[in-house]
């Protein structure tokens, strides 16, 4: 069984060990202990000290194997991007050109330098150990973040983006970087990745502001614009099922697609339900159908089952209660694990969600 919880300083060594499996392209989590220490400290401050609205807080979560304590995954949410250091992207624009005189038609793609100072929220930094990748664990790691947002809605912007990992191979080779980035930054992809986490300003200082005509790039560089790394494709599908769509933006270094959604229209947020625990049973769930989190701090999230009782309240298993450190009378927030869940349990969730929205 796994739980999702906020990261702690004591997790640094295990996080470093986990990231050794991440290869190249996970820009926001470089294999640099000093950078990671700062990221963990920023996360701890974010959970403890918040303003009345989103202020760029950085929430970092780990996925822990409950009975061994092993860290097998990591994910994050930033309440608002931009501010003093803007975020940089390319905006894709397409135009059609034709000449009847010579009977030629052309579709031209151009990349326009784009930056965000006052931006949306962002989900990022998702990585799951290869040995633990399956349809259940990856979805759980990704969607658990939305229960945290739902429970802390006022601390997040109304829109949220996800910059998907682009086409960089296991050796750090990116055809787009070789064709574009390397020409202006004069460093390799891995070095630029590390520089990005320390200070983004060099991008605006060195990258030309003129549009880049994609059609004149080498074919392999053109081919990867807006494409995700094969390992990231499942994560992209999960977000699309939740309501995310392509924003028209791509990354600066490896031009993976940036997805966007209205926070209140994300399925796992919109359909999440709050209920009180009225019964805890000893029998564990064989195939959990819900993502469940506690509603008070510290945030903890697990997979389990939830049954609405005719007498009022909800029933969960003893295993789930122990994992989330819950007792009778405590409240939970939960949502169906998959958007295509069917049957009585889905109807129960929707009915209870209406009660929650009126609260």
Range with lowest mean pLDDT among 158-167, 183-192, 245-254: 183-192
Report the SS3 class of residue 30: coil
Task: With H, G, I as helix, E, B as strand and everything else as coil, classify residue 158.
Answer: coil
**According to the model, what pLDDT value does residue 25 have?**
62
Structure confidence at residue 266 (pLDDT):
98
Ranking 109-113, 285-289, 342-346 by mean pLDDT, the lowest is 342-346
Distance CA 259, CA 161 (A): 5
Per the CB < 8 A criterion, the answer to whether 278 and 28 are in contact is no
* Average pLDDT value for residue range 120-138: 93
- pTM exceeds 0.75, yes or no: yes
CA atoms within 13 A on the CB side of 16: 11
Q: How far apart are CA 309 and CA 18, in angstroms?
A: 41
pLDDT band at residue 357, thresholds of 50, 70 and 90?
Answer: very low
DSSP SS3 for 26: coil
Distance of CA 251 to the CA centre of its chain: 15
Give 201's pLDDT tier (boundaries 50, 70, 90). confident
Q: What is the mean pLDDT of residues 45-65?
A: 92
Q: What is the DSSP letter of 312?
A: S
From 35-49, 244-258, 340-354, the region with the lowest mean pLDDT? 340-354
**Dihedral sign, CA of 269, 44, 23, 252?**
positive
The percent of residues in the chain predicted with pLDDT above 90, rounded, is 64
Torsion over CA of 187, 190, 195 and 200, rounded to 10 degrees? 90
Which of 179, 189, 187, 161 has its CA nearest to residue 253?
189
Whole-number pLDDT of residue 24: 66
Contact by Cβ (8 Å): 242, 259: no
For residues 18-42, average pLDDT: 86
For residue 344, pLDDT over 60 is answered with: no
Highest-confidence segment of 44-53, 133-142, 165-174 = 133-142
CA distance 28 to 17: 16
**pLDDT beyond 70 at 342:** no
Give me the torsion for CA of 51, 198, 15, 259, rounded to 10°: 70
Contact between 304 and 332 (Cβ < 8 Å): no
Compute the CA torsion angle 357, 139, 25, 163 (nearest 10 deg).
Answer: -30
Backbone region of residue 258 per phi and psi (left: phi > 0; alpha: psi in -120 to 50; beta: other values)? beta
**Rounded distance between C-alpha atoms, residue 177 and residue 110, angstroms:** 16
Which has more confidence, 284 or 316? 316
**Which residue is listed with tokens 């996800």?**
162
Q: Which domains occur in the chain, in start order?
A: 2-265 (3.40.630.30), 271-358 (2.40.40.20)
Cα separation, 261 vs 281, whole angstroms: 38
8 Å CB contact between 20 and 318: no
The Cα–Cα gap between 247 and 260 comes to 6
Q: Count of CB atoms within 10 A of residue 152's CB?
A: 18
Per-residue pLDDT at 240 exceeds 90: yes
Considering the chain, what is the average pLDDT of its residues?
89
- What pLDDT does 286 receive? 67
| Confidence bin at 284 (pLDDT 50/70/90) | low
Sign of the alpha-carbon torsion through 148, 152, 153, 156: negative
């Amino acid at each position: 069984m796994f739980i999702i919880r906020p990261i702690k300083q004591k997790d640094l060594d295990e996080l470093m060990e986990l990231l050794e499996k991440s290869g190249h392209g996970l820009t926001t989590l470089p294999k640099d202990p000093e950078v990671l220490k700062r990221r963990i400290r920023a996360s701890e401050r974010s959970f403890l000290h918040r303003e009345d609205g989103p202020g760029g807080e950085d929430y970092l979560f780990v996925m822990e194997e409950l009975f061994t304590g092993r860290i097998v995954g990591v994910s994050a949410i930033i309440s608002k991007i931009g501010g003093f250091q803007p975020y940089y992207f390319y905006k894709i624009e397409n135009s059609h050109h034709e000449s009847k005189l010579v009977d030629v038609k052309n579709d031209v793609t151009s990349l326009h330098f784009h930056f965000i100072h006052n931006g949306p929220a962002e989900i990022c930094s998702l990585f799951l150990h290869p040995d633990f990748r399956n349809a259940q664990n990856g979805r759980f790691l990704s969607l658990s973040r939305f229960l945290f947002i739902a429970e802390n809605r006022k601390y997040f912007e109304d829109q949220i983006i996800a910059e998907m990992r682009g086409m960089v191979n296991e050796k750090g080779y990116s055809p787009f970087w070789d064709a574009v980035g390397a020409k202006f930054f004069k460093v390799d992809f891995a070095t630029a990745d590390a520089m990005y986490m320390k200070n983004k300003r060099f991008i605006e200082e060195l990258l030309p502001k003129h549009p880049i005509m994609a059609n004149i790039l080498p074919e392999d560089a053109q081919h990867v614009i807006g494409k995700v790394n094969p390992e990231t494709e499942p994560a992209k599908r999960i977000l699309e099922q939740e309501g995310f769509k392509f924003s028209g933006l791509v990354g600066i270094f490896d031009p993976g697609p940036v997805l966007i959604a209205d926070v209140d229209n994300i399925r796992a947020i919109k359909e999440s339900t709050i209920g009180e625990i009225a019964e805890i049973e000893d029998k564990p769930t064989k195939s959990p159908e819900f993502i469940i989190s506690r509603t008070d701090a510290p945030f903890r999230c697990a997979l389990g089952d939830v049954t609405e009782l005719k007498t009022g309240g909800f029933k969960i298993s003893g295993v789930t209660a122990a994992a989330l450190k819950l007792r009778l009378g405590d409240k939970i927030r939960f949502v169906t694990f998959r958007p295509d869940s069917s049957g009585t349990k889905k109807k129960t969730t929707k009915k209870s969600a209406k009660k929650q929205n009126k609260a």
